[in-house]
Amino acid sequence: MTDDRTMTIREMCDTYDVTPRTLRFYEAKELLFPIREGQKRLFTKRDRARLKLILRGKRFGFSLEEIRQLLDLYHMGDQQQTQLARTYEIAQQRLTDMETQRDELNQAIDELKEQMRWGEKMLASMDQSKRAAE
Amino acid sequence: MTDDRTMTIREMCDTYDVTPRTLRFYEAKELLFPIREGQKRLFTKRDRARLKLILRGKRFGFSLEEIRQLLDLYHMGDQQQTQLARTYEIAQQRLTDMETQRDELNQAIDELKEQMRWGEKMLASMDQSKRAAE
DNA sequence: GCCTGATCTTACGTCAACGTAAAAGTGACG
DNA sequence: CGTCACTTTTACGTTGACGTAAGATCAGGC
């Protein structure tokens, strides 16, 4: 069997390196749905799976709102393929954005490297005149 | 001779594709220092050069505050090589950050592509059952 | 019963880079 | 003189993803 034990907020924080505030925030935004035992939250296996997807989504650069939509569709069963296609579309768009961003970043890196050869020379020459002055 | 004519705010906006608000904002943040003729701002060659560097800096992912510091150091004359070295250090750090970011982005792109092969299959199978239902 | 530590709710604060609205001044044209 | 287009200042609003402070509550241990 897989580990179906529920986790406290602290265990979640330690496991996934997030703050309690973050988990409560995600709950408020309807990204997570921990069980409420009295006051306390108990995070199930499902919550942990969702949190993993949230964190991954953030690495992809999705906003929380986008992630929520994707997550909702994820658990929507098999009706409404229109929405699923929409999901796919969103991901497609994000992918394009990321590739564009990467290309721009690469160009910026090259440019910055170029600029820095400048600075290198400048620093070297200044170091020289500093030594000469001593 | 190079073009030393001063430019109005509108000419600047059209030339560099920014809004008046942006230019005034940059002035407030001490990134630009247009001459004040009465009420109006007149942007000199120096302002244009600075603006170009600002826009480039933004493409590099520097914050405006970082850009301001770099710009200040840029016009500091040749004393204080400590600060120049600091500038170089900042740029170096930024470069490292950008490369890290690019690598993560590349990894995210690969992951996302992988995920999407999933979605592709899912869409295809759902399309099938949809056709069958008609 | 009391203390301690963890958790809870509520709600205002933060940061960056401007956007936007209001009200007023300026200059040229007719 | 009017008014039209442009610019100015001032200052509050926006967005996203939480941080942070204040105070309530609860379970366990002594």
User: Each residue of A70-115: pLDDT tens digit?
Assistant: 787 666 555 555 666 767 777 787 778 778 878 877 887 787 777 7
Say what the pLDDT of residue B75 is.
63
Report the C-alpha gap between A131 and B40 in whole angstroms.
Answer: 48
Say what the pLDDT of residue B22 is.
97
Q: Are A112 and B95 in contact (CB < 8 Å)? A: yes
CB of A9 within 7 Å of some strand C atom: yes
Say what the pLDDT of residue B42 is.
95
* pLDDT above 60 (res A59): yes
H/E stretch holding A21 reads helix A20-28
Q: What integer best gives the mean pLDDT of chain A?
A: 81
Report the C-alpha gap between A106 and A114 in whole angstroms.
Answer: 12
Say what the pLDDT of residue A124 is.
73
pLDDT tens string B49-91: 999 989 988 887 788 998 888 787 666 555 555 666 777 777 7
Residue in this structure with the two tokens 């920014």, named with its chain if needed: B18
> Shortest CB distance from B95 goes to which of A109, A122, A123?
A109
Mutate to test the interface with B, among A70, A102, A123 (most CBs of B within 10 A): A102
Report the C-alpha gap between A25 and B23 in whole angstroms.
Answer: 37
Burial B65-86 (b: 16+ CB within 10 A, else e): ebbbbbbebeeeeeeebeebbe
Report the C-alpha gap between B44 and B32 in whole angstroms.
Answer: 10
Contacts of B115 in chain A (CB under 8 A): 91
> Shortest CB distance from A123 goes to which of B60, B88, B115?
B88
Please tell me whether residue B98 adopts helix, strand or coil conformation.
helix
Q: Is A122 on the interface with B (CB under 8 A)?
A: yes
Overall average pLDDT of the B27-47 stretch: 93
How many other β-carbons are positioned within 10 Å of the β-carbon of residue A46?
A: 13
CA of B32 to C1' of D2 (A): 37
Say what the pLDDT of residue B107 is.
79
Overall average pLDDT of the B26-43 stretch: 93
Asked which of A18-32, A73-87, A118-132, B50-64 is least confident by mean pLDDT, the reply is: A73-87
CA of B53 to C1' of D27 (A): 60
Say what the pLDDT of residue A34 is.
96
A44: left (phi > 0), else alpha (psi -120 to 50), else beta?
A: beta
Residue B82 CB-half CA count within 13 A = 1
| Domains observed in chain B | 1-75 (1.10.1660.10)
Report the C-alpha gap between A92 and A51 in whole angstroms.
Answer: 22
Say what the pLDDT of residue B15 is.
95
Say what the pLDDT of residue A12 is.
96
Report the C-alpha gap between A84 and A59 in whole angstroms.
Answer: 21
Higher pLDDT, B72 or A47: A47
Reported ipTM exceeds the 0.85 cut: no
* pLDDT above 80 (res B125): no
Report the C-alpha gap between B12 and B52 in whole angstroms.
Answer: 11
CB of B69 within 7 Å of some strand C atom: no
Residue in this structure with the two tokens 């840029």, named with its chain if needed: B74
Q: Is A76 on the interface with B (CB under 8 A)?
A: no
Kindly identify which residue of chain A lies nearest to residue B103, measuring between CA atoms: A102
